[in-house]
Amino acid sequence: MRKQIVAGNWKMNKTFQEADELINSILEYIKKDENTAEVVICPPSLYLELASDQANDTTLMIGAQNMSCNGFGAFTGEISAPMLASMGIDYCILGHSERRKYFNESHEMLAGKVEMALKHGIAPIFCCGEQLPERESGNHFNVVKEQIEKALFHLPESDFSKIVLAYEPVWAIGTGVTATSGQAQEMHLYIRNLIKDKYGDDVAQETSILYGGSCNAKNARELFSNPDVDGGLIGGASLKAEEFIKIVRAFD
Ligand code: PEP
Average pLDDT over residues 191-220: 98
Name the pLDDT band for 251 (thresholds 50, 70, 90).
confident
Cβ(124) – ligand 1 distance below 6 Å: no
Residue nearest to atom 6 of ligand 1 (CA): 235
**Above pLDDT 70, what percent of the chain?**
100
Written as one letter, the residue type at 188 is: H
> Which residues fall within 8 angstroms of residue 62, CB to CB, at 6 or more apart?
40, 41, 42, 43, 48, 51, 52, 55, 88, 89, 90, 91
Quick one: pLDDT band at residue 31, thresholds 50, 70, 90?
confident
SS3 content of the chain, % helix, strand, coil (to 5): 50, 15, 40
What is the atom index within ligand 1 of the atom nearest the CA of 175? Answer: 10
Please write down the HEC assignment for all residues of 105-129. CCHHHHHHHHHHHHHCCCEEEEEEC
CA of 72 to the centre of ligand 1 (A): 30
Return d(Cα 50, Cα 20) in angstroms, integer.
7
Question: What is 5-251's CATH number?
Answer: 3.20.20.70
Q: What is the pLDDT of residue 193?
A: 98
Does pLDDT of 215 surpass 90?
yes
Q: Where are the domains of the chain?
A: 5-251
85 Cα–ligand 1 center, Å = 25
Amino acid at 242: E
Protein residue with its CA nearest to atom 4 in ligand 1: 235
User: Average pLDDT of the chain?
Assistant: 97
Please state, as a whole number, how many other Cβ atoms lie within 10 Å of the Cβ of residue 229.
25
Task: Check whether 241 has a pLDDT greater than 70.
Answer: yes
CB-ligand 1 contact for 65 (6 Å cutoff): no
**Dist CA 42 CA 64 (whole Å):** 5
Residue 33 has pLDDT above 70, yes or no: no
In this structure, are residues 165 and 148 in contact, taking their beta carbons and an 8 Å threshold? yes
Q: What is the Cα–Cα distance from 229 to 145, expressed in whole angstroms? A: 17
Specify whether the CB–CB gap between 80 and 46 falls below 8 A.
no
Question: How many degrees, rounded to 5, is the angle at CA 132 between CA 130 and CA 134?
Answer: 60
Q: Which neighbouring-strand residues pair with 124? A: 92
Residue 82 has pLDDT above 80, yes or no: yes
User: What is the largest distance, in Å, between two alpha-carbon atoms of the chain?
Assistant: 49
Is residue 76 a contact partner of residue 84, using CB atoms and an 8 Å limit? no
Q: 45-66 pLDDT, tens per residue? A: 999 999 999 999 899 999 999 9
Rounded CA separation 18/34 (Å): 25
Q: At what angle do helices 241-249 and 16-32 cross, to 10 degrees?
A: 30
In the reported structure, the alpha carbon of residue 236 is separated from the centroid of ligand 1 by a whole-number distance in angstroms of 6
pTM above 0.75, yes or no: yes
Query: What is the Å distance from ligand 1's center to 110 Cα?
Result: 19
pLDDT at 35 over 80: no
213 CB less than 6 Å from ligand 1?
yes
pLDDT of residue 202: 98
Residue-wise pLDDT for 169-186, tens only, equals: 999 999 999 999 999 999
C-alpha to C-alpha distance for 137 and 174, rounded to whole angstroms: 22
Which pLDDT tens digit goes with each residue over 142-164?
Answer: 999 999 999 999 999 999 999 99
pLDDT at residue number 21: 98
pLDDT band at 23 (very low <50, low <70, confident <90, very high): very high
